[in-house]
Chain A
Amino acid sequence: MAVQATVSASNAVVNHKRRDYLPYMLVLPIIVYEAIFILIPILQQVVSSFTSDVIGIGTVRWVGLDNYNRLFADRNFWNSLRVTLAFMGGTVILSVGIGLLAALLLNQNFRGRSVARGIMTMPWAIPDLPAIMVFFWILNPNFGVINLFVRWILPIDQTPRWLLDINLALPLVIAIAAWKAFPFYGLVTLSVLQSIPHDLYEAAKVDGATPLQSFRYVTLPELIPTLMLMGILACIFAFRQFALIFLSTGGGPARTTETLVISVYKAAFNSFDFSYGATIGVAGFVVVFAITVLFAYLQRRQEAVASS
């Protein structure tokens, strides 16, 4: 009996040890994958930012902080940073805001609600390239259909040059990006709205709350954690946005839509200065990291306020 107990105890230890290793074994492939395809390239990029690696100019050599000195003195970098923040801010506010409004609207009971939900998802479902080409043509200064509408509405002969106009290019690109992204945020918000217990609204109604007060004191507190998360996601998506900007304006006119991602591309693949491209990339990483930390802090503070 005692022997049997010892054996089963020993088996339990072995099984326990096996169980201890099992989770690590299971996640090992993804860790190896992430290390090879994500961590190593990031580290390479950081290392590259301390070198001079321009095609056709000698060999790769260590230059210390030279690229960072150049970066801080480069007015094009500061311009790109400003454009990036404006693009992120504009896209986040517009896409999450319109997504919220659309979700509130589609959360109501009305005939054709399912069809309306389907239609709402279309901008998000259309691939980037055809969507951009459609806008590129709509906004063409000579042939774009928008010119007809503007001439009908406004008493003008000469329509703006749209994406070629220094003052209009960025707002238009933001609008296109928001149009493309808002259905995603709308659908996520809608799913949260539908999970809010109806009792809460009935209780608020009994207490004499107006629809606006119901929204302020019932809906919004339930939505805020999701909105915060979507804010972070929207910032990261907006920061990474490349195809839309590159294909519609190429960062122009006169760098007015040149975000950091476009700057990285231009430095690395138009000027063939890989090191400087990597340096801008590292700066961009710092920006996104700072924004993520800020959102995480705000979210934690919000949770602390809610629990107290």
Chain B
Amino acid sequence: MSKSTKSSKNQKGGMSRRDFLKLGATGAAAAVAPRIDFPAFIRQSPMDLNLLTWFWTEPGRGDAWRAMIAKFHEEQSDIRINEAGYGENDYFQQILIQARSGRIDGDLFTETPDGFLRLAAAGHTASVEDVIERAGVTPVPAQDMLRIDGDLHGLDIVTVRFGLVYNSALFDTAGVSEPTDLDNWVEIATTLTERPNQFGIYSPHLASEPFTVWFILQQWAVLYDGIWAEGQNPLLNSEPVINGLKLFKTMYDNAMPQGTDVGTANQLFASSKIAQNMVVSAAVNQWKTNTEDPELYNNLRSAAPFWPGNKGITRIHPICVNANTEPEKQEAAKEFLSWLYKLENYQELLERCLDVIPAIEGGIRPEYRETLTWADGYDATEAITVPEVLGDFVLFNDELGQVVTPYFEEILAGASTVEDAMERAQVDAVALAERVFSA
């Protein structure tokens, strides 16, 4: 067959086997090429870093981070930060499962204090000690809990503290003021309740939201100056824990929208149907950005501590560099963190996120702090860390929660007394301790 015949055949629209193979090979190369991480000097293109966090889905905080990353991208072109992660409810499970499968699927990731300790112990976090030097800042002493063998293995990117947020307009309407003690608090919450139109307080309690329930329930024992475990010994049947759960049950019976999930409760709070919320300081941001009531944010206040010990669980959430990502990506990740931790950038992030507890010396500008009319109670509350509240169970926080929450549900359902339920929970917790600490 002559060339002209071949050519005429191709012109008719048919594809030869060789052309087909060429096309296939080109397609395969195009599919594979973006997945190969060549060094920057070969790539001639920005280094892509995946930042795993739940912040992206958090009202207010997600936008704040996007704004900061846009600024970072404007200032340089060598590193690009990509959004990755899951919603808050799935995030911690997914990260642990990724860790179990060998490697966390992100170059940078944020974590809870307990999650951090677990992942750091398993070797998933790289030292970021040099970031502090490059940024030229001084971390607050609380960040020492992020040190492994003296080196920081994570940088606190948001510290939150538990406190009682309330809607001062509803307080004024009901003619009540900030609680003076726990009994007075119960009276106030009851006064503020007019079912089903208004509720005195909300705290998560559904079995379908076990992580959130346990996360906030921990604070209820701290209201009686209690802790949940000391070292490897669980203290589930101790007096402060029992008193904390009794107080919860009283509030649940008198003043809570029973059977309401967290998302709905947030909407109810945003529409001034719930008067008080025992939450971390970071939650306030969602009521600034996610409400139809323009006055709500201005009406928010946090109560000065009125409970014994005046303590609020303070949770440091670090951002970490994945120790198992490629060395050049680790370096790029540290470059990004050095930029983020520079005083002016850190202050901007803190303010955009509406945070109140700085992680570095001078991290909060006084003029910004003055604008936070809702933050005085949080500031007046004394910090107690998660390891202090959970002892060695800090490494098995969720497991301990799995022990506590079913008994807690029994209590709420009125199926057993607090004392009886927590006695049995204590037995289970001791068994858990034997299993996890002896391994």
Can you show 12 pairs from A to B with CB atoms below 8 A apart?
A: A52-B439, A139-B259, A142-B260, A162-B259, A250-B208, A252-B206, A254-B406, A266-B210, A270-B211, A271-B398, A273-B399, A274-B100
B208 pairs with A248, CB closer than 8 A: yes
Quick one: CB contact mask for B405-418 with A, threshold 8 Å, 1 for yes? 11101101101000
**Shortest beta-carbon distance, B410 to chain A, in Å?**
4
Residues on A facing B (Cβ under 8 Å)? 52, 54-58, 139-143, 161-166, 246-255, 266, 269-274
**Which chain B residues lie closer than 8 Å to A162 at the CB level?**
259
**Which chain B residues lie closer than 8 Å to A140 at the CB level?**
259-260
**Shortest beta-carbon distance, B109 to chain A, in Å?**
15
B413 pairs with A142, CB closer than 8 A: no
**Which chain B residues lie closer than 8 Å to A166 at the CB level?**
410, 413, 415
When A55-B100, A252-B206, A266-B402 are in contact, do A164 and B259 touch as well, CB less than 8 Å? Answer: yes
Residues on B facing A (Cβ under 8 Å)? 93, 96-97, 99-100, 118, 121-122, 195-196, 206-211, 257-260, 395-396, 398-399, 401-402, 405-407, 409-410, 412-413, 415, 436, 439
**Which chain A residues lie closer than 8 Å to B118 at the CB level?**
55-56
Further pairs besides A143-B196, A253-B410: 5, Cβ < 8 Å: A55-B122, A56-B395, A161-B258, A251-B207, A252-B406
Which listed residue (B97, B122, B259, B412) contacts A56, Cβ 8 A?
Answer: B122
**Shortest beta-carbon distance, A195 to chain B, in Å?**
43
A253 to B118, alpha carbons, bound, how many Å?
A: 29
B395 nearest in chain A by CB position = A56
B256 nearest in chain A by CB position = A142
A165 to B413, alpha carbons, bound, how many Å?
A: 6
Which listed residue (B210, B415, B439) contacts A254, Cβ 8 A?
Answer: B415
B258 pairs with A254, CB closer than 8 A: no
A161 to B122, alpha carbons, bound, how many Å?
A: 44
**Which chain A residues lie closer than 8 Å to B195 at the CB level?**
142
When A57-B439, A142-B196, A254-B410 are in contact, do A163 and B100 touch as well, CB less than 8 Å? Answer: no
A255 to B436, alpha carbons, bound, how many Å?
A: 23
B406 pairs with A161, CB closer than 8 A: no
**Which chain A residues lie closer than 8 Å to B436 at the CB level?**
54, 57
A164 to B256, alpha carbons, bound, how many Å?
A: 13
When A57-B439, A142-B258 are in contact, do A269 and B93 touch as well, CB less than 8 Å? Answer: yes
B259 pairs with A141, CB closer than 8 A: yes
A-B interface, 4 closest residue pairs, ranked by CB to CB distance from nearest? A252-B207, A250-B208, A250-B207, A253-B409
Q: Among B122, B259, B406, B436, find the residue whose CB has the most chain A CB atoms closer than 10 A.
A: B259
**Shortest beta-carbon distance, A135 to chain B, in Å?**
12
A251 to B207, alpha carbons, bound, how many Å?
A: 7
**Which chain B residues lie closer than 8 Å to A249 at the CB level?**
207-208
A272 pairs with B412, CB closer than 8 A: no
**Which chain B residues lie closer than 8 Å to A273 at the CB level?**
399
**Which chain A residues lie closer than 8 Å to B196 at the CB level?**
142-143
**Which chain A residues lie closer than 8 Å to B409 at the CB level?**
252-255
B100 pairs with A254, CB closer than 8 A: no
B199 nearest in chain A by CB position = A142
**Which chain A residues lie closer than 8 Å to B407 at the CB level?**
254
**Which chain A residues lie closer than 8 Å to B398 at the CB level?**
270-272
B400 nearest in chain A by CB position = A271
